[in-house]
């Protein structure tokens, strides 16, 4: 038998989500008539905006004509979408269309980008956070050992964790030990918090001084409402030399099933070869490496999907997506206010669709999960699924639909938490 990649065996099983499914199933079997409200999901529920649907139909019809038919497209994305993205998302920020790589979503880009780096690069992640950053690096052999006794809550010894809790107002401290690669996700999944320009500028300055690369995951930028919160890391001077940015059409425009996103790889971000293998200047542009990677392993996002993504940037697309986002944010606001009124400590729900609740003292994540499930019929996500510093917290989302969210909030208010 062939030997499998040992690093995969270091990954914790998907204990959290299978345990949630098991408990929900048991509850549903015991209460077949009870209506469950699922506020744990990170998936959207509103249909695609009309202008996106119209663009899809047009692009499908083109495929029936000899002139309009498209076979393989450019691996980096069609120029029409790269140009639209550069103009509408990065106007005045110096990002060129050929620095934008269209893809089938941010998850793949984020999971794949670490491939460009040596196995012994040191990686820092904020904690709690979207699990793909840690897991993709563990798969690549950068995780080191995970204490076997704590598969749900443990830390990988090879990763640098930057805790974000109520104690530091969810703002990570700069690392004590220099990492090579730093993952930042703002607005944050799961805490729903953001960084101010000044806070993000400290990271850019740190990365410049210590020659680190920042992976900036801006999948939720469309949800930012507070003025002056940066939507892109390139709003910070100097970021174009140290940061790669990832964006997604999933949450803001409802593309979770359609699949489209992009990575921004400025030509001015460099890595270096291993000692003794230098090129002329001893530095290697990530832009060329990512282009090489994508042209080898990816055959491009479908033409019809790229036309749909283009429609998101049109004035109608922007108007329509704003309405949907406002509804998700109203839902998140309702949940947030409800927990505040119940006297609980809560973050998020202002610039992100996630509400991050501190579980009352004396209760652990699963006791709180069971309490909401059994006494209110509400399904949320225990915070420990997002990293060790998520212990003691719980995530609810604004994606659950207006009526469901209203009903959930009424049920929560009737509970004496
Ligand atoms: N980044 C973050 C922080 C996310 O929460 C998600 C999805 O939940 C993604 C990226 C994935 O986005 P996509 O659907 O574009 O793959």
Helix (H, G, I), strand (E, B) or coil at 264: strand
Helix (H, G, I), strand (E, B) or coil at 38: strand
| pLDDT tens series, the chain, 417 aa | 999 999 998 887 777 788 899 999 999 999 999 999 999 888 999 999 999 999 999 999 999 999 999 999 999 999 999 999 999 999 999 999 999 999 999 999 999 999 999 999 999 999 999 999 999 999 999 998 765 545 455 789 999 999 999 999 999 999 999 999 999 999 999 999 999 999 999 999 999 999 999 999 999 999 999 999 999 999 999 999 999 999 999 999 999 999 999 999 999 999 999 876 655 568 999 999 999 999 999 999 999 999 999 999 999 999 999 999 999 999 999 999 999 999 999 999 999 999 999 998 888 888 999 999 999 999 999 998 899 999 999 999 999 999 999 999 999 999 877
Tokens 């320009």 locate to 197
Q: Among 85, 189, 246, name the best residue to mutate to test ligand 1's pocket (greatest count of ligand atoms within 8 A of Cβ).
A: 189
What is the reported pLDDT for 278?
53
Using an 8 Å Cβ cutoff, are 100 and 264 in contact? yes
The fold of 53-314 is: 3.40.640
Q: Which residues pair with 123 in a beta bridge?
A: 159, 181
Distance set, CA 148 to CA 79, 137, 198, 362 (Å): 48, 18, 39, 25
250 lines ligand 1 (CB under 6 A): yes
CA of 110 to the centre of ligand 1 (A): 9
CA–CA separation, 36 and 42 (whole Å): 16
Tell me the per-residue pLDDT of 138-158, one tens digit each, with 9 for 90 and over: 999 999 876 554 545 578 999
131 lines ligand 1 (CB under 6 A): no
Using an 8 Å Cβ cutoff, are 216 and 266 in contact? no
CA of 116 to the centre of ligand 1 (A): 20
What is the reported pLDDT for 277?
60
The CATH class given to the 15-47+316-415 domain equals alpha beta
CA of 191 to the centre of ligand 1 (A): 14
Q: Among 42, 129, 186, 250, name the best residue to mutate to test ligand 1's pocket (greatest count of ligand atoms within 8 A of Cβ).
A: 250
What is the reported pLDDT for 405?
97
305 lines ligand 1 (CB under 6 A): no
Torsional class of 192: left (φ above 0), alpha (ψ -120 to 50), beta (otherwise): left
Helix (H, G, I), strand (E, B) or coil at 316: helix
CA–CA separation, 306 and 226 (whole Å): 29
Q: Whose CA is nearest to atom 8 of ligand 1?
A: 42
Q: How many CB atoms lie within 10 A of CB 142?
A: 23
CA of 107 to the centre of ligand 1 (A): 5
CA–CA separation, 232 and 264 (whole Å): 10
CA–CA separation, 185 and 130 (whole Å): 8
What are the start and end residues of each CATH 3.90.1150.10 domain in the chain? 15-47+316-415
Helix (H, G, I), strand (E, B) or coil at 360: coil
Q: If 0-12 CB within 10 Å is exposed, 13-18 middle and 19+ buried, where does residue 393 land?
A: buried
125 lines ligand 1 (CB under 6 A): no
40 lines ligand 1 (CB under 6 A): no
112 lines ligand 1 (CB under 6 A): no
170 lines ligand 1 (CB under 6 A): no
Using an 8 Å Cβ cutoff, are 114 and 140 in contact? yes
What are the start and end residues of each CATH 3.40.640.10 domain in the chain? 53-314
CA of 270 to the centre of ligand 1 (A): 25
Tell me the per-residue pLDDT of 240-261, one tens digit each, with 9 for 90 and over: 999 999 999 999 999 999 999 9
CA of 30 to the centre of ligand 1 (A): 34
What is the reported pLDDT for 365?
85
261 lines ligand 1 (CB under 6 A): yes
**Burial letters for 317-353: b for 16+ Cβ neighbours within 10 Å, e otherwise?**
bbebbeebbebbbebbbbbbebbeeeeeebbbbbbbb
CA–CA separation, 47 and 304 (whole Å): 17
What is the reported pLDDT for 282?
80
């Amino acid at each position: 038998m062939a030997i499998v990649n040992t690093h995969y065996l270091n990954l914790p099983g998907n204990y959290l989500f299978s345990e949630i499914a098991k408990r929900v199933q048991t509850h549903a079997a015991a209460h077949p008539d009870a209506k469950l409200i699922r506020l744990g999901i990170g998936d959207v529920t509103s249909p695609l905006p009309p202008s996106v649907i119209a663009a899809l139909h047009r692009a499908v019809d083109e495929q029936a004509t000899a002139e309009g038919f498209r076979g393989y497209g450019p691996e980096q994305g069609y120029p029409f979408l790269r140009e639209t993205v550069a103009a509408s998302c990065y106007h005045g920020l110096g990002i060129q269309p050929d620095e934008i790589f269209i893809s089938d979503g941010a998850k793949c880009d984020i999971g794949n980008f670490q491939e460009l780096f040596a196995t012994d690069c040191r990686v820092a992640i904020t904690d709690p956070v979207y699990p793909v950053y840690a897991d993709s690096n563990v798969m690549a052999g950068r995780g080191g050992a995970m204490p076997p006794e704590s598969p749900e809550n443990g830390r990988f010894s090879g990763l640098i964790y930057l805790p974000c809790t109520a104690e530091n107002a969810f703002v990570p401290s700069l690392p004590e030990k220099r990492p090579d690669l730093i993952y930042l996700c703002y607005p944050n999944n799961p805490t729903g918090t953001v960084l101010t320009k000044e806070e993000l500028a400290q990271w850019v300055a740190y990365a410049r001084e210590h020659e680190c690369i920042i992976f900036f995951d801006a999948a939720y930028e469309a949800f930012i409402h507070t003025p002056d919160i940066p939507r892109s890391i390139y709003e910070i001077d100097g970021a174009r030399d140290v940061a790669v940015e990832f964006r997604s059409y999933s949450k803001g425009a409802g593309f979770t099933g359609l699949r489209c996103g992009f990575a921004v790889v400025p030509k001015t971000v460099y890595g270096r070869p291993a000692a003794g293998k230098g090129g002329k200047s001893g530095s290697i542009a990530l832009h060329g490496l990512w282009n090489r990677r994508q042209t080898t392993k990816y055959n491009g996002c479908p033409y019809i999907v790229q036309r749909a993504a283009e429609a998101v940037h049109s004035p109608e697309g922007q108007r329509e997506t704003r309405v949907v986002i406002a509804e998700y944010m109203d839902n998140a606001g309702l949940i947030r206010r409800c927990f505040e009124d119940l006297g609980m400590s809560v973050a998020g729900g202002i610039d992100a669709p996630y509400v991050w609740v501190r579980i009352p003292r004396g209760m652990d994540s699963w006791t709180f999960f069971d309490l909401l499930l059994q006494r209110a019929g509400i399904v949320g996500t225990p915070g420990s699924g997002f990293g060790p510093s998520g212990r003691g917290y719980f995530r609810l989302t604004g994606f659950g639909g207006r009526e469901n969210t209203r009903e959930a909030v009424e049920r929560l208010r009737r509970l004496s938490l």
